[in-house]
Structures are given as structure tokens and as C-alpha cells.
Amino acid sequence: MPRSPSMVPGAYQDTYLVLDDLGRLGRVWRETAEEDANHEALIRDLLDDQYSRPSASSPLTSPRAGPAT
């Protein structure tokens, strides 16, 4: 099956989302600033207890223009 073109042309970075369990309020995908949606920031936020009860983490991988540097 052919891949769909990127919805954001030129955005070649991996983005990480966290599913946070807020108890009676339910589970939500936490929003974050663009510069904080990377692997390093995700680990830092998990270690700093920035999430109530993280249930899942989901990487969204963008197609790369060329070899990763």
C-alpha cells in the first residue's frame, strides 16, 4: 500500500505523545509544545512526574528527507 504524503511538509522529526490517566476524568492525550514533543523531553517529563498516571506513549515517526544525521 502506498504511503500518504506528510500532512506537514518539511517536518522531519519524531513526535512523542503520552496517554495520561486522569482517574474519574478519563484518559487524555496530553498536549505539549512542539519543541517538547521529542524523546529527550518525554523522558525528562516522565522522570519529573509531569503526568498523573501515564498509560501509554506513542511515537509518531515522520518520513525523513535523507539519512538521519
The structural domains of the chain, with segments of one domain joined by +, span 15-60
Whether 11 shows a pLDDT value over 50: the answer reads: yes
pLDDT surpasses 70 at 7: no
pLDDT tens string 19-65: 899 899 999 888 777 777 788 888 888 888 888 888 877 777 766 54
Q: Which of 38, 43, 21, 39 is nearest to 30 (CA)?
A: 21
Distance of alpha carbon 55 from alpha carbon 18, whole angstroms: 7
Binning pLDDT at 50, 70 and 90, where does residue 66 land? very low
How far is CA 59 from each of CA 13, 23, 25, 45, rounded to the nearest angstrom?
10, 24, 24, 15
Residue 8 pLDDT: 55
